[in-house]
Amino acid sequence: MRIPKPLHSWNVTPKKAVSLQRRLADRIIQDPLARRPQYVAGGDIALTPDGKRLVAAWIIWDLNRRTQLEAVHVVSELSFPYVPGLLSFREAPAMINAARKLNTEPDLFMLDGHGLAHPRRLGLASHVGLFLDRPTLGCAKSRLCGSHREPGPKRGANVRLLDDGEIVGRVVRSRVGVKPIYVSVGHRITLDEAARIALACTQGYRIPEPTRLAHHYVTALRSSV
DNA sequence: GCGACAG
DNA sequence: ATCTTGTCGC
């Protein structure tokens, strides 16, 4: 897959990272997808046992056939600490490099983290979306900002995630009896589409298949690479 | 000053 | 994210 030239350097201080987020946030586009997605890329990372490197990977999920088509990965040195709100500066560089290895062009990229549901509206999914200039959505396992009511108990029940008076995401019950997932716009997609597709991608587990399979993939790789 | 805080 | 023992439920 061919990707655009980098929008900025990743070699920044946390202070500079915050200013970059403020500058990039207004570039996020919330437009409908060009077509109904078939190939959904799911991305995730895992740390090596020594905690010094990270494995970043993408798998491609065929939403029509319900099968995995491709899996690619890269290994890189950790160069940024985990700071709540600055996750993309730790994980995005490797995720973006791994995307170059994809042979199939995905219709959509799903990331393990938030998109617009971020204090400065530029979570991991949005940041990666801008760098790839592709549709992305964020699917996180827990809340970073905002507040919401408890969604109903049925699969598919969902409520809005509100932060500072803005609708920044949707809290979706992906399965009966489990904690809901947090879906938000990454880039070039609408919130309705993001929530609908994230749910359509779940196959009997709390986590949607693209992200779930990517997690399995990196977890298997971390010990042998 | 005191919590909250994606992965 | 990672580590980690027991425990609950199908």
- Residue among A178, A174, A177, A179 nearest A211 (CA): A174
Query: Residue A140: phi, psi to the nearest 5?
Result: -100, 155
In whole angstroms, what is the distance from residue A39 CA to residue A9 CA? Answer: 30
Distance A178 CA to C9 C1' (A): 14
What's the one-letter identity of residue A220? A
pLDDT of residue A224: 95
Considering only residues 143-202 of chain A, list those whose CB is below 7 Å from strand B: 143-144
Distance A85 CA to C2 C1' (A): 20
What's the pTM? 0.97
Nearest nt (C1') from A113 Cα? B6
pLDDT of residue A205: 96
Q: What end-to-end distance do the CA atoms of chain A give, in Å? A: 23
Burial class (CB in 10 A: 0-12, 13-18, 19+), A66: exposed
Write out pLDDT tens, residues A119-161. Answer: 999 999 999 999 999 999 999 999 999 999 999 999 999 999 9
pLDDT of residue A56: 98
pLDDT of residue A74: 98
Write out pLDDT tens, residues A169-203. Answer: 999 999 999 999 999 999 999 999 999 999 999 99
Nearest nt (C1') from A139 Cα? B6
Q: Which two tokens stand for residue A61?
A: 């999920």
Q: At which residue do the structure tokens 């799911």 appear?
A: A42
| Range A57-78 average pLDDT | 98
Nearest nt (C1') from A123 Cα? B6
Write out pLDDT tens, residues A14-67. Answer: 999 999 999 999 999 999 999 999 999 999 999 999 999 999 999 999 999 999
Query: Residue A141 in contact with residue A13, Cβ under 8 Å?
Result: no
- Residue among A114, A170, A167 nearest A138 (CA): A114
